[in-house]
Structure 1
Amino acid sequence: MIKKAVIPAAGLGTRFLPATKAQPKEMLPIIDAPTIQYVVQEAVNSGIEDILIISGKGKRAIEDHFDRNFELEERLQQKDEELYKEMRKLSDMANIYFIRQKEIVGLGDAISYARQHTGDEPFAVLLGDTIVDSVIPVTQQLMDMYDQYHSSIIAVETVPADKVDRYGIVGGKRISDSILQLDQFVEKPSVEMAPSNLAIAGRYILTPEIFRAIEETPKGKNNEIQLTDALENLLKREKIYSHTFEGTRYDIGNKLDFLKTTVEFALKRQEFADPFFNFLKEIVSSHQAYLDKTKTL
């Protein structure tokens, strides 16, 4: 049974500068909740209550977000009972621990910091800048698979061929419609070198052997220790499977996807859905009128 989760959240967030100069990219809000709150909630909804967040310099806001704020709580308790309960829920939702990655040298290195925390147990990994919307939490889907295979499980999704160079890509032998026994990992390959169009989607169940594999992994692309390369090493010791998950992934590290996510999540909120949808229709209509006008000039 998977009891612990690790959330790497130490990246610099350079794609969102200047917004991330003084705040973590994981704290960028989707409506009124920071990205990492959705990630932690997924772990909790999967039955995990012990979470280690790998942070870095300038990430103190993440720790503060999940901590108590007694002055705020006291004021809210007097004026807004529902909001008070929501704020208390943040600090009570899980046992959350923090450790800093001393140097930003890759996802593989970040996960190595979890070794003392997870010990000899398998554990879940959820990237802190990726939200997955699904009926059954993706982490729960992977945990269910682990109960069957007792090996590392990687969540993957199908991506267009012209976008495989943005992701870690897997290849392997098909076991079922959604499961592959993997034999290849390639970090951001060209279309010609990609073994498939199945991209690693930011959710993993990893066995303790991953730490030894990371130790033996040299720095790769961008002079970083890539988790994809470490998984390639892990294949020499044990079987690894992929699961094409059911759900929709949102990469909040990408500006366009961040905008799309905000729109989609707003449309799912009852208090915003109708007025926001009407606003979008007005915007689209106005933009189309502008395009039609420019064509006639």
Structure 2
Amino acid sequence: MMRKVTKAIFPVAGLGTRFLPATKSVPKEIMTLVDRPLVQYAIDEARAAGIKEFIFVTSRGKSALEDYFDHNPILEQELRKKGKTDLLDILKTTNMDSGAIAYIRQHKALGLGHAVWCARRLIGNEPFAVMLPDDVIAAEKPCLQQMVEAYAETGGNMVAAMEVPPEKASAYGVLDVADDMGSVVSARGMVEKPEPGTAPSNLAVIGRYILGPSVLRNLNKMKQGAGGEIQLTDAIAEDIESGTPVYGYRFRGQRFDCGSKAGFLQATVAFALAREDLRDDLNRYLGEVMQTSKAAE
């Protein structure tokens, strides 16, 4: 019987240099998208998919991230005293139960594969998810929940995938598609950051994975890949060679690359426009900006 996916790894050890100077003192993962930190969107998505254990791979300077998930009795007491139950309810969604969350240090930045490998002892011999908080996905049904439901039918390993312009494929891990079944494709291989013009398809892997423990065993070999780093994509591709199927899942939703400034701004606008309490004012402002821009041309 296939085991349920109840553990998720969140690699958050990066320095966030593209957002300096903000990330000099604030971890990128708790920069706010509208009024919630990036990492909260990932946590909410994981909870909706049935994740019960949350494993963060961190580095020096991430203490604010750890504090974010802790209880704040003084703040809760003040909100309760003032009758602000709506804010109290929001605050409770940021709390983690004792034992539900763990932090592992990645002492050297050796790549995504190495970050995932750091959590191997907490995963054991179970399937697990990997979620990159930089990839924020707006979807009616959360992306990881879609994948968990598809995984229950396929088993193996599964990666979230989306079509990208061919000229941008070299920035991603790319699937070599063996069989296209619509929302699910089977892969004969995967290539991390292929040279321009050499990508086997334009179906790119983005930051959601459901993997078996065999991927962790592949990572034990510490093979260096693209950029001299230990690539998660290479460890997944090695599973294909040993006979374990790998599937790409075309999720339903819109992905925002919040690891870039442009993507972060686009996500901010999109998520704000989806909010009833912000939509009208923001629409009005954006209309004024467009009119001013046209008048200046």
Fold-level similarity (TM above 0.5): yes
Q: Residue 208 of structure 2 corresponds to which residue in structure 1? A: 203
Would you say the 8 A contact 1:9–1:129 is kept in 2? Answer: no
Residue identity in the other structure for 1:36: V
38-47 vs 134-143, greater mean Cα deviation: 134-143
Runs of 4+ in structure 1 deviating by more than 3 angstroms, as ranges, are none
- Contact 2:132–2:207, Cα closer than 8 Å, also in 1: yes
- TM-score, length-scaled by structure 1: 0.94
Shift of 1:85: 2.3
8 Å Cα contact 1:44-1:93 kept in structure 2: no
Aligned: 1:274 with 2:280: yes
Which residue matches 1:4?
A: 7
Which residue, out of 50, 54, 59, partners 2:57? 54
Contact 1:173 1:180 in 2 (8 A): yes
- Structure 2 regions of 5+ residues with no counterpart? none
The code of the aligned residue for 1:90 comes to T
Which residue in 2 is equivalent to 1:84?
Answer: 88
Q: Deviations over 1:185-235 (max 9, x none)?
A: 111223311000011110010000011111224222332111112222222
Give 1:30's aligned residue. Answer: 33
TM-score (norm 2): 0.94
> Could you say what the CA RMSD is over the residues aligned between the two structures, in angstroms?
1.4
- Tell me if 1:41 matches 2:47: no
Report how many residues are paired: 291
Task: Describe how 1:1-297 pairs up with structure 2 within 5 A.
Answer: 1-79=4-82, 80-92=84-96, 95-237=100-242, 238-291=244-297
CA contact (8 A) 1:49 1:93 kept: no
Task: Give the SS at the match of 2:206.
Answer: strand
2:276 match: secondary structure? coil
Unaligned runs of 5+ in 1: 292-297
Q: 2 CA distance for matches of 1:159 and 1:221?
A: 20
Q: Distance in 2 between matches of 1:183 and 1:57?
A: 38
CA contact (8 A) 1:250 1:258 kept: yes
The amino acid that maps onto 1:81 is: T
Provide the rounded CA distance (Å) in 1 between the counterparts of 2:235 and 2:20.
29
The residue type equivalent to 2:41 in the other structure is Y
Partners of 1:217 and 1:230 within 8 A in 2: no
Q: Is the 8 A contact 2:178 2:187 kept in 1?
A: yes
